[in-house]
Chain A
Amino acid sequence: MNEVFFNVDAGYLEGIVRGYRDGLITAPQYLNLTQCETMDDLKLQLATTDYASFLQNEPSPLATSTLSARCTEALVAEFQYMQQNAAEPISKFLDYITYGYMIDNVILLITGTLHERDTHDLLEKCHPLGFFDTMPALCVATTVQDLYSTVLVDSPLAGYFRECLSAEDLNELNIEIIRNTLYKAYLEDFYSYCQTLGEPTASVMAELLNFEADRRTVNITINSFGTELSKDERAKLYPRLGNMYPEAQTKLARVDDMDQVKAILEQYSEYKSMLIGVSMNVSSSSSGGNNAELSLEDRFFAREVQLNKDSFEQQFHFGVFYSWLRLKEQEIRNIVWIAECISQQQKDKINNYTAIY
């Protein structure tokens, strides 16, 4: 019966978001982008895409950071157009998507304050999708209690913050723990919200969020090697969902090196194929692509793109909004990657982007 009532609130927006999807850069266009010799060439090529109107007024020596900022602006403009036109169930769904960015912004501000960076610089670096009213006040907070009672209690993140209040003070490790605890609470909440939306939104989003949870689980595991994070604490940071919950998670909580992670991942058919040819000795922080082989992170991106493309195969569900945003983000990462390769004269690595269509 979903098909009969879906278009009442979401028909127009679904058409819009599918239009946006058709605006994503295709394989021939990527080929043209990678052929560019200078940044001006790149700008010329991008003039045939949706980014044209955001780039046309930029002065000619185009910096990669400006390119990235303009592309994000294009993404935000499209997302905000949808938010402005959204009625109840979708508007809440779109709000849920922005909570992830809010978490990143909060962490960025706390970390910046810890390192005594300038507030205005920090606010400029925040992702515009995760902006909320009381955010600039975050810079004055010095303890976790402060942070919660003065700022976050009025933001949508208040509910997620409850579990972090036990943390004593703000240092590097605690901030990382706060980030992951917040994100864990957010993922679980988003998942249970999607399950209330009924089929097929529930099943489509379940697949996407399960993947996201698995990726976070693996990343937390890999990043906690060689830190003072105890294994019990590590297990507490894993989101309680995903294909690897709970069996593989309890195993991952106990491992000490990459080979063991690989052995656990290989039990899952969808991740086994992903691992072929991945050099597991590279720590995930070197995703800058210093070697020709693709890192595990790139494989995760490729798999994410595949899953997000699949969600467009069905009509009448909300997953397309989430998927479009993820694909667009990946596209911006690709453009920035290509631009970096061009500006740094590293043409041999230019093809290491994750193609979408």
Chain B
Amino acid sequence: MSSLVSYARSAISTTALGLAAWAGLYLLLTGRGERFNVGGYLLRLSPHMWGLYGIAFCIGLSVIGAAWGIFISGSSILGGAVRTPRIATKNLISIIFCEVVAIYGVIMAIVFSAKIAAVSSEGGFSASDYYTGYALFWGGLAVGLANLICGVAVGITGSNAAVADAHDQQLFVKILVIEIFGSVIGLFGLIVGLLVTGKAEDFAGIV
């Protein structure tokens, strides 16, 4: 069964590679190689698309990071609290740290979406529009990825904190300090995201 799957996989990938090579060589050898034009393709995409993608990545990845972190520390708190119920209230702070990551994402998404405006049928391709679109896209992606990793990091540390606290009360504060350092990573993404999009003009809107 597994040999069949691996055979099918290699067959499909070889076919796809062959077709791509054939198409590329065909264009090249018939003197139409310039039709394969990545730059032109990117310029034809609306800057609004880039901007909205950036906002979607920003909030989406942040929420995934926060949810993942809450789930990692939450399940450990749940298990640890069966024997030592006192950890449940105290370790809520780990959940809050994870939640903060989602709030960063929401704030940034709101800031970014303030630059969005409805666009007329022929507008939206000025140099300023391109810059705003790219700035929003990469700024949003940076914030989103930073928050995703931050959420997971805080979640794992929060899980450590819960387990350690259940065993020895004195360890809680020490691990909390590490957790705070972890949660600062998300703040770095937030700052960079603000700086990147700070110079971008708002989209022009209906002219």
Chain A interface (Cβ < 8 Å from any Cβ of B): 3-4, 7-8, 11-16, 18-23, 315
Contact = CB atoms under 8 A, between A and B. Distances in A.
Contact of B75 (A11, A19, A22): A11
Given A4-B156, A19-B80, A315 B163 contact: yes
Secondary structure of the B contact surface, majority rule = helix
Given A4-B68, A4-B156, A315-B160, A15 B77 contact: yes
A18 B160 contact: no
Interface string B58-83: 00000000001001101111111111
Query: Which 6 A-B residue pairings sit nearest by Cβ, starting from the closest?
Result: A15-B79, A19-B83, A11-B75, A15-B80, A12-B79, A7-B75
A15 B82 CA distance: 8
B58 to A, nearest CB: 21
Contacts of A20: 83
A341 to B, nearest CB: 30
A323 to B, nearest CB: 14
B86 interface: no
A15 B75 contact: yes
A22 B166 contact: yes
Interface in B32-90: 68, 71-72, 74-84
Contacts, number: 62
Given A4-B68, A4-B156, A315-B159, A16 B82 contact: yes
B166 A19 contact: yes
B167 interface: yes
Contacts of A19: 79-80, 82-84, 166
B167 A11 contact: no
12 contacts: A3-B156, A7-B75, A7-B76, A11-B159, A12-B79, A14-B76, A15-B77, A15-B81, A18-B166, A18-B167, A22-B166, A315-B160
Contacts of A18: 79-80, 163, 166-167
Interface of B: 68, 71-72, 74-84, 152, 156, 159-160, 162-163, 166-167
Contacts of A12: 75-76, 78-79
A111 B23 CA distance: 76
A85 to B, nearest CB: 10
Given A19-B166, A315-B163, A11 B83 contact: no
A7 B83 contact: no
Given A7-B75, A15-B76, 20 more contacts: A3-B72, A4-B68, A4-B152, A8-B71, A11-B72, A11-B74, A11-B75, A11-B76, A15-B77, A15-B82, A16-B83, A18-B79, A18-B163, A19-B79, A19-B82, A19-B83, A19-B166, A22-B83, A23-B83, A315-B160
Contacts of B68: 4
A3 B76 CA distance: 12
B179 to A, nearest CB: 14
Given A22-B84, A22-B167, A23-B83, A15 B78 contact: yes
Contact of B79 (A3, A13, A23): A13
Nearest to B156: A3
A12 B193 CA distance: 36
B158 to A, nearest CB: 11
B72 A15 contact: no
B86 to A, nearest CB: 12
A4 to B, nearest CB: 6
A18 B75 CA distance: 13
A306 B158 CA distance: 27
B79 to A, nearest CB: 2
B157 to A, nearest CB: 10
Nearest to B83: A19
Contacts of A8: 71
A220 B30 CA distance: 79
A4 B84 contact: no
Contacts of A23: 83
B166 A15 contact: yes
A11 B84 contact: no
A7 B162 CA distance: 13
Contacts of A4: 68, 72, 152, 156
B152 A11 contact: no
Contact of A14 (B71, B74, B156, B163): B163
A18 B82 CA distance: 10
A275 to B, nearest CB: 33
Nearest to A20: B83
Contacts of B82: 15-16, 19
A184 B166 CA distance: 38
A13 B68 CA distance: 18
Given A4-B72, A4-B152, A11 B166 contact: no
B63 to A, nearest CB: 16
A140 B162 CA distance: 52
